[in-house]
Structure formats: C-alpha cells, structure tokens
Structure 1
C-alpha cells in the first residue's frame, strides 16, 4: 500500500500482486492510509486504485478457513471510508470482485474502465457478501436485480452494471486521471445513509422462486434472499449486522469449506497442468465426425484454432459442419472438412475420435502417423481403452496419449489427459497447451479401464443399479441424489448418454469379471430390449417425441421385477438416507482405490474432475472431500455396510488417502 499525491488529491495505491486480494496486511495498510489522509487538511479528495490490472479481486480465501478472521476486518475499513471527511473515489479495473466491489460501494463515487468486470461471487463459494455488498447495493439496484447479481456469482461487464447504476462513470483509458478529477468535483455520498430500493410488489418474491428453482435451495441462495429482504426492511446499521452474521455463519459451515477446497484444488490442477514448454497450437486435426468429433472441432474453432476434420462419411462431415456453424460465422470459417487424411498434414496436434474400438483406433492412429510430420503428438479421445496398448501398436509410442473430452466437448470445463507409460513430455506439453487454448482444466491421470472419471462414475452408477435391484426405483434414486446436489440423476444421465455406451464397456470387461462378484444385469436387460434411452424413446424412463422429460414406465418396472426374480431377490423398502450413503461411499471408495494405484495424483484432482465433468455436487466438495470430512468412525461404518452389500471381492480403500 502506498499513498501518492496528485496535487490536492491523495491517491491510495493497492499493491498486492497478482490480483490485489484483500488480506489482513492490505486492510491494515488501507486503514492507515485512510486515517492519514483524513488527518491531512491539505487533502481535498481520495482515490483508491490498484497497481497493475485490478483494483481488488476478492479476498485471500485462506483467511476464511479459520474460525475468526484476522483484524482489521473489511467492514472496519469500509466504515472508515464512509466516515472520511473528504470524498473517496474508487477506480475500478480488471476484475473487481467480492470485497473489491464492496470496497467500491463504500466509496462516494465509482469510476471504471470499460473492460472492467464486477461481481459478488460469494454464493458460488457457499457464502453471501459480508461487508455491505447487499445493503449498499440495495441503495443502487432494485431488490430483484440485486438478488440476480448476488446469486449469479459471476463477473459481469461493467457496461451492464453501469446501465444498472452500480458505477457512476465509465472511461476507456486514463482511469487515474478520471478518478482524480472525480475526487475534485464530487461531494460525499454515503450509500448506507440513503433509503433502500423496494422494487415492484411481488417481483422480488418471483425472482427468489425462480433462482431457487434454478440453483437449488442451497444455504447461500436462501441466505442471499433473506439478506436482501432484511435490507429492505431494517435500518442500514441493523441490516449490515444481519448481513455480516449470515456471512460468518455460512463461512464457518460445511458447504463453504467444500467450495473453498474446490477453489484451491482447481488452482492446483491448473498449476500442475502448465506445460513445461508451451507449444503453439494453431491447427488441430480431428479424425472422426461423430457427435464427439464434431464437439471437439467446435471447441477448437471457438478457441481460435483452425481445424481439419476428417471422416470417410461425407454425410457425417456435413452434420458436423452444421454443428460447428452454431459457434458463429467466424468460427465456422476456420473449419476444413474432407475424407482424405492428407488434410491433416499441417496439423500441430491430431485428436482421434473414431468409434470406441481398439482395432479401429489403432489402425487410424497408424494411418495418421504416416501423413503428419514426424513426432507429432497423436491424442486419442477414448473413454475406456488402454492407452498403453494403443501406444504399443504405434511406431513411436512416446507420441501417443489420451485426451478424454467429456460431453458436450465444447462446453465442459475439464479435460482428462491420460499419460501412458511411454508418453513423452513433448507430447504431454502439446496437449496441455491445447487445454490452455480451450480454457479447460487439464487433469493428468494414468492408465486403467475408464481412467479416473469413468472408472469412478461406473462405481457410482453400479451402486445405483444395485439399489434398484434391491427395491428402490430409478426415480427414487435420482431424486435422492438430486436432493444432495447432483446436476442430474444417474438414471436420467444414462438415458441421455445412451445405455449402449456403458453396455459396450461392460462387454469389454466380461472376460475379466469374476463370477463371484456381484453384478447387476438390469441395464443389460434394457439394452437387449432395444431400450437405449432418449434416442429410442425408452430406457430407464419413457420419453415422448420432442420431449426429454423422463416419465415412469410400467415396462421398466416389469423388467426390474424379472431381474429381481432371476436373482432371487425379495424387494425391500430403501430410504433416502441409505441411498445417499451407499452411493457416495461407493464413489469415495473407488476414488481411494484410484489414488492407491497411482492413477490419480491428488484427491483434489479427482474432486475437480468429478464436480466439473460428472455433476458431483460442488456443495459436497467432491467425493474425496465428502469422505475426508466425515467422522472417521462414521465413514468406517458406512464402508462396512457397503462391503456387506457388495459381498465377495469388495476392496475397501484407505480413507487416509482421501485427505
């Protein structure tokens, strides 16, 4: 923190790289600067500005993990801004988020660069704003608009919030000069002394219902709605106390701890995924124009790369081109399609995305190696196949690795990067550079059936099927897991993906499966009846043409009853608590086995992959965090119950590996 003078205006420069996060040292320095400028009668105005790109981009989340936050806390600093005898102007730049926006709202005027983004991300971290973001924000925004901003928990372009009234002036350059001029011309305007906006009758309640329906009745969403409502009714001082108390309660709670864990885990994944040597990825070759190949092509053109898409089927190429065209005219112009592999000759990376068959993939990789430049990395987008076995068929095994995109490939923010025994660092660097270009977090994993994500998800899905076999219904399992925050119920997911996908994976494992191992053939029976999910109008559920709503189907009930009878199973009542415990414990246990085998490096890697790629609830922090934060005796008992349900062959993983 340093104080500079621009004539009669004191310019307080926040300098805490890389993002000027709020820390105890920053807050103490800011408080000292405010007190010093308040005592200096030659100062007629104060500007708060950030060194570098940002004014203040949130807080140091490490502070939030302790019971009591270190002093001085942010509300004390903001109270000093409001009590300052001269006008204080905030100069917003970069990403002014969380405590940074609350800092700006405590100032008398806000001047922002046009490319600045602002937001209150606390709900995304399991909390609510805790230093007046809601109370002061309600003096500028209607309650419904403020609640939208708080619950969205995403950075918003300053042009949007400028129209709403959160900033007073937007400039394209010379931010410091504009802020200094504002400090000379503006008067004190303390937002907390103004009356709150009340909005149109009923509109806030309607907005709250909509947001709860979309985001779930999570503690953060409910507390945000309650804090906005309190700020409309209470005096500012009482409303600020309420907001701070709710922030503190949630900060100390399990959901906030889980989301902080994921934040740090994502940071670790990003750090581990930095290429040791950056590789330019300008042109990408994609072989296979099916659903996944088209999605991969769309992802790369959207990121600015040129794409050469090859498939032997002209009709498939046409369908893929139509999908890529949805990314926009400029993106679509970067796509070339053709049936000859020669189209790949200038590629910086090739991604193979043909049918999930070892022989076909090995043949394609061999043909591709003959047309691209020597040593060019060849990535295979396989979901389950053995990367080492594929590499063994190549002339240069070190150039082969896995690049497992999760559907939809152009949307999911995580990528499973499968490093084989022979994979070179150069090949890995190419794929990590591609992940960076795509804006995807690359989780580096080892080789096993299904790698990390699909292997763990298979254990999750298998447990769900066993519960149905024992007496639950598919809808009962889906709803129980939706209640704890999964993005989509497992049986609805299976229908959406297509039951034949997992069926083929199970057939590949048939020879290795011990007959003593408990196995549910429910999904096999559905596939054998031609019930493949949404694409055939029936799977676990029934579907109406043009409607993806899952409807209960008596035919499914008959198939389930037949399967139970064949196994000699008498159905029993199964409650929600048992469903959740069994499924989550099975998921966490498989994660422990994956870690023990060295397929994944860190528990956080698994948690990032499963929350970002497979819909595991972020509010639980991922399967590893969920298990690691349970009382040890309670988790051990759950493992025992899981083992009793699975019977022969059950392998309990080491819980200590999950933390």
Structure 2
C-alpha cells in the first residue's frame, strides 16, 4: 500500500508509504484520492493528519513517469481537493518535503515539521516548474520575495527557516503527536492558502530574480517561467494562475531540457560500484594523503568534511608547514562562507595531522598520493607507503595522466593500487574517477567506491589510458580549439561560441584560470610518443615562452589588468597569424555555429573511442564525467546524451566531411560506424 488510513479518535491519520523517499507516483496518487473519496462516509472525523512513513514526508513526484502521458488522478487535482475539504488537513512533516510533497503541505490548513527537515520546490532542477500549485500558493503564504528566493533557484529551506518565513506553523520532534492534540481554536483560525490575499507586486524583486536566474542558470527555461508564474500571483485570480502553472508544467516536461535534466538526475543516482565488484572495502577511518599542495590539501579537507582522520605527508619540515597552512586556509574560507561553524573547524583541526615521517601513517587503511606529476616522484612515494603501511592497506594515486600500471609496478603487490582522480578544488567538485589498473583488485576498487560514497561524490569507473575519461576528452577539445584558432578565429570568439552553447566559460578562459604551464608540462611529457602525422599547434608553447601563463601572471590568452576582468589581447591574435604564415596556411573564417560544431564533434568522436576501447563502461558515465568534471551544460544532459539528440548518422556524416581535410584527426570512431550500421544510439551501447 502506498497510502495507509487509520483512525485515532476524531482524527484520521493518512500515511504516505513509498520507500525510500515517498515519491508521489500513480499508486500514491490513487491512494490519496481513495482517502478523499472515503472521507465523506467516515463518521466523526474532525481532522486529517497527513504524514510520511520512514525518513521522508514526500520527496516530490516520481520523475520516471514524466516521459509518459499524465495519468489521472493528477496531483494538482488532489492538492486542490485537500485544500477545499470541509475537514481540515494538517501536514505532519516528519521528513524531507520537496516538490509535490511541499505542495501537499501547502494545501493543508496547518503545517508542523520535525526540526531540521528540508522543505522546498526544486522542480527547476528537472527543467520544469511546480505543477500542483507551488508557484501560486507559496507567494501568497510567505510573500513574493521569499518565494522568488526558493522556487526559481530550487533551493529548499530548513524547518527553522520555514517557520521564520511562515511556511510552517510550528516545529516538533513528533509532528503527528502534536497534530493529534492541536486545539480546535488553532485549526479554526487557520486560513486556507487560497483565501490569503495576493502578494504585493514588486518589479524590483522580480528583476533581481530574473538577473540571478540568467546568471546562475543561463539559458534554462524553467527558472524564468517560474518567475513569470510567481509574478502573476499579484494580479490574477488563483484559479487562472493554477491553470497556467499546470499547462506550463506539462509543456516543459516534454521539452529537451527537461529530458536532459532527468537523464542526468537518474544517471547521478545510479552512479555506484558495478555489480561485478563483490569484495568488501578496506576500512579507512584513518587516511594518509601524500602531498600538501593545492590538490592534496583539497583532498585532505574533503576527507575531514566526511569525519575521517587524515595524516598529510610531506618531504620535509618546510613542506609540512605549507601543507598545514594550505589546509588551514580552506578551513578559514569555509568559516568565512558560513559552511562550517567554529566547532566544526575545531573538529577538523583535531582530526588532521601533517608529518614528514611516513611511520605516522602506519595505521592508515588507505593512502592517496597527490604529489608532483612525475613518474619518478610517484615511484618513490609508493615505495615509502609500501614500507610504512600494513600489507592490506590500499594505495591510490591522484594522477591525471601518468600510467597507473607503471606506478603500480613500484610495489610488490600491484593489486592493492588504484587511481582516485579528484578534480580541483577537491573539496568542492563532485566527480571522482576511480581508475582500474590491469591488476587492481576488487577490494581496492570497492574501497574507492566506498570512499566516493562517504565523500558524497559521483564515482565513475575508468580504465587506464592517457587522461582517463575526462582529461582525454578535454585534450581533444583543446586541440580542436587550437586548430580553429590558428586556421580561422580568436580565443575570444571560440570562448563566446562555447559559452553561448552553455559552458560557464570557454576553453581559453578556463586555461587562464588553471594556468597554461600545467598543459605545457603535459605536452612535453607527450613529445616522445606524439603521432608525427598528427598536426601540432605551437601557439600555446609560444604563450608560455612569453610568460603568459594565465590569471596568476596577469596575462594569458586574455589580459587581466589590475587583477580585474579579462580583456582581449591583440598580441595573442597576432600569434595565430604568425604561426599560420609559418605553416603556409591560408586562414579562413568560421561562423559561431561552425566553431561550436567542430569542438563538439571532436569531443563526441573522442568519447566514442573511449567507449569503444572500454575505458568508459557506458555513455551515461561519460555524461557524468563531462557534466560534473568539465562544465558541459547539465541542461543538455552530458556529451553523449547531447550527441544522441543530433543522431549518430548526422554525426558520422559531419565527421566524414571533416575527415577530408584531416584524415588523422577526424577519423570517425569505429563505435560510431557500428552504431550507424546497426541503427543504435550511443545510450544503447
């Protein structure tokens, strides 16, 4: 049963029960409708208490139903019936109340929540607006300003904040018990939200909300439509607003953005250890991190945030002090931003130690190496870890490009070695590539996935190759951008094309942020193995020779005068002209669409090769990597989901055309050819 009904004297207790989060699917809607149909025949019922089983009140509609037609009974009709019911309903919010769960609560006459529970309307995150009255009732209940803070951003509020806003009427450890004994006077005074006055029309607040949505959720339709609906509550009868809201919801949920966002939503929740990993993870309450630079300190802080004990290892006393300072800097930043309080800061400091003596990490069940990207350095580190830690301890490297199998050969038992590729800043970025070496054991991999879960990161299994999944696609993206730059364009035109596509920043501004010297060092590592038939663009090398390393030097692909915003640099544009002249290339001009398509086709083709080679297990995993690690617009569903919207035959035709100008770089992936011949999508691989 998705909904249970029981009597407690003059009260009827209705419990929603659809584990784990009481998603409001068809069966639950049918159950709620059955309760509404039953109530007129129930003698002596003076109040109905609506609550949830387990840890949730109700966490919204079942998004799995969104791809099909809307099936009656509809939640908006149920919500309207609850609000219009002669018998007052009380929401006993025992756990999270999101989306439709929040809308059910808004329909009740009175709302009581357990301390700390989250209440909100996050539908814009799935590319839709609330569809059961949320945009119409919330502004009437808490005012337009507060509703604009919640609905277009999708951010929930705690019970404590909800009480301050007037969203709930009280907080109690046992909301059902309080609802059972709530005095009749309080219920009689409670006014249905539909009868509350319209909120004041505030053009200034609306303009601010639109600007924020345009900045934080650029090109997404749902946030702006939600603002339209909220604005309408100030001037329209509620019945008209409810009708428009429902129509908007049904229209948006059929759109490309909603489908893409649902794809990523389900992909994120499905990210876990593959079924073939049967081993138990190695316990890791105490973890060693080797290297206290920016990455190592970020990893250490991510571990501290998860309540783990961390020993950060460095080479000498100077390195130890720098490591401490780097971790303390992150603690200070978190305090300043209100992410932790003073007590939380002290807890993290108490769990942290730094040392130059590997023996201090002897009790660690897991070590994560984040030292300098040199195979010699990493071999030395792994030899020290092997000598200091127990034989069952798992040893991981955070290398971005180096050969994991070569690193694993540094120890007597390579099966204990795996890759844990964090993304900077490691305490913020959600993606974690878990790299399986040729001999990585199931226990080592299980440990990596268990750590990802503990850190609340999105784990993706990757095989061994240069750059794994994400950096390999990134390298091809940058190569394609450099070719377009040299042959036809400028960094700022290329960046603009990709920002207009949906990236937060283009490839050149992103390089300025990370530093051009990092990519330069990687190119030098690849010099000996680079395919001589593959075209090489030397402009970035010229930039490093000129000392233009990015923001940290005040100039890279852009100039940053006074540390302020970026400005175009004509010297950079001239470098392309010079190199094209040296290479005897006649420059042309690409439109924004041509720039965008070349870069996207390059990434898609590379990703198809990655899938073909088994480096990635599925197209879905590549989508997770590109969205959560590399800024691919979430509302496009990830690189491979987007590719399927183009269609494999169209992609292959475009690659065949580009192959005529460069048969090495644009050679179509065998996977794309196979999919085209068999009529398969990339998602079906």
| Corresponding residue number in structure 2 for 1:53 | 55
| Corresponding residue number in structure 1 for 2:405 | 388
Which whole-Å deviations, capped at 9, do the CAs of 1:283-307 have from their partners, x for residues lacking one?
1101111111111111111221111
| Corresponding residue number in structure 2 for 1:218 | 220
| Corresponding residue number in structure 2 for 1:280 | 283
Contact 1:114 1:170 in 2 (8 A): yes
1:36 paired to 2:38? yes
1:638 paired to 2:641? no
Specify which of 434, 439, 452 is matched with residue 456 of structure 2.
439
Which whole-Å deviations, capped at 9, do the CAs of 1:608-649 have from their partners, x for residues lacking one?
111011111101101000001224443233323443454335
Query: 1:297-308 to 2 correspondence within 5 Å?
Result: 297-308=300-311
Contact 2:14 2:49 in 1 (8 A): yes
Which whole-Å deviations, capped at 9, do the CAs of 1:297-337 have from their partners, x for residues lacking one?
11111221111111114333323322322322321222111
| Corresponding residue number in structure 2 for 1:290 | 293
Contact 1:139 1:196 in 2 (8 A): yes
Aligned residue pairs total 656
What is the distance in 1 between the residues matched to 2:494 and 2:412?
48
Point out the more displaced range, 241-250 or 648-657: 648-657
| Corresponding residue number in structure 1 for 2:334 | none
What is the distance in 2 between the residues matched to 1:640 and 1:558?
32
What is the distance in 2 between the residues matched to 1:383 and 1:319?
23
1:551 paired to 2:567? yes
Contact 2:314 2:323 in 1 (8 A): no
What is the distance in 2 between the residues matched to 1:272 and 1:425?
10
Query: 1:414-429 to 2 correspondence within 5 Å?
Result: 414-429=431-446
Specify which of 493, 496, 499 is matched with residue 513 of structure 2.
496
Specify which of 522, 537, 559 is matched with residue 520 of structure 1.
537
Point out the more displaced range, 271-280 or 146-155: 271-280
Deviation at 1:57, TM superposition (A): 0.6
Partner-residue secondary structure (3-state), 2:432: strand
What is the distance in 2 between the residues matched to 1:576 and 1:518?
23
Query: 1:210-289 to 2 correspondence within 5 Å?
Result: 210-270=212-272, 272=274, 276-289=279-292
Specify which of 632, 637, 640 is matched with residue 621 of structure 1.
637
Q: Gaps spanning 5+ residues in structure 2: where?
A: 332-344, 676-680
| Corresponding residue number in structure 2 for 1:137 | 138
Contact 2:365 2:392 in 1 (8 A): no
| Corresponding residue number in structure 2 for 1:78 | 79
Query: 1:72-151 to 2 correspondence within 5 Å?
Result: 72-151=73-152
Contact 1:87 1:183 in 2 (8 A): no
What is the distance in 1 between the residues matched to 2:202 and 2:224?
20
Specify which of 350, 358, 361 is matched with residue 344 of structure 1.
361
Deviation at 1:266, TM superposition (A): 1.1
Closer, same or farther: CA 79–400 of 1 in aligned 2, 3 Å: same
Partner-residue secondary structure (3-state), 2:13: strand
Partner-residue secondary structure (3-state), 1:289: coil
Deviation at 1:271, TM superposition (A): 5.6
Which whole-Å deviations, capped at 9, do the CAs of 1:383-430 have from their partners, x for residues lacking one?
001111211232111011101010001100110110111011111122
Closer, same or farther: CA 570–110 of 1 in aligned 2, 3 Å: same
Contact 1:142 1:199 in 2 (8 A): no
Contact 1:231 1:239 in 2 (8 A): yes
Query: 1:584-595 to 2 correspondence within 5 Å?
Result: 584-595=600-611
Specify which of 564, 574, 581 is matched with residue 565 of structure 1.
581
Which whole-Å deviations, capped at 9, do the CAs of 1:582-627 have from their partners, x for residues lacking one?
1112111111111100011011111111101111110110100000
Closer, same or farther: CA 182–464 of 1 in aligned 2, 3 Å: farther
What is the distance in 1 between the residues matched to 2:467 and 2:595?
24
Which whole-Å deviations, capped at 9, do the CAs of 1:505-540 have from their partners, x for residues lacking one?
222222222222122222122122222212222211
What is the distance in 2 between the residues matched to 1:144 and 1:645?
56
Contact 1:265 1:608 in 2 (8 A): yes
What is the distance in 2 between the residues matched to 1:145 and 1:563?
55
Contact 1:446 1:598 in 2 (8 A): yes
Point out the more displaced range, 120-129 or 523-532: 523-532
Partner-residue secondary structure (3-state), 1:573: coil
Point out the more displaced range, 250-259 or 290-299: 290-299
Deviation at 1:552, TM superposition (A): 1.1
Specify which of 319, 324, 329 is matched with residue 327 of structure 2.
324
Closer, same or farther: CA 415–153 of 1 in aligned 2, 3 Å: same
1:176 paired to 2:192? no
Contact 2:121 2:150 in 1 (8 A): yes
What is the distance in 2 between the residues matched to 1:293 and 1:563?
38
Which whole-Å deviations, capped at 9, do the CAs of 1:251-300 have from their partners, x for residues lacking one?
00001100111111112213649985244321110111111111111111
Contact 1:375 1:396 in 2 (8 A): no
Contact 1:616 1:623 in 2 (8 A): yes
Please tell me the root mean square deviation across aligned C-alpha atoms, in Å: 1.8
| Corresponding residue number in structure 2 for 1:658 | 682
What is the distance in 2 between the residues matched to 1:492 and 1:130?
39
What is the distance in 2 between the residues matched to 1:602 and 1:632?
16
Point out the more displaced range, 606-615 or 277-286: 277-286
Contact 2:119 2:158 in 1 (8 A): yes
Q: Gaps spanning 5+ residues in structure 1: where?
A: none
Closer, same or farther: CA 358–278 of 1 in aligned 2, 3 Å: closer
Contact 1:275 1:428 in 2 (8 A): no
What is the distance in 2 between the residues matched to 1:102 and 1:585?
43
1:353 paired to 2:370? yes
1:487 paired to 2:489? no
Point out the more displaced range, 570-579 or 468-477: 570-579
Partner-residue secondary structure (3-state), 1:202: helix
Provide TM-score, normalisation by structure 1. Answer: 0.96
1:367 paired to 2:384? yes
| Corresponding residue number in structure 1 for 2:7 | 5
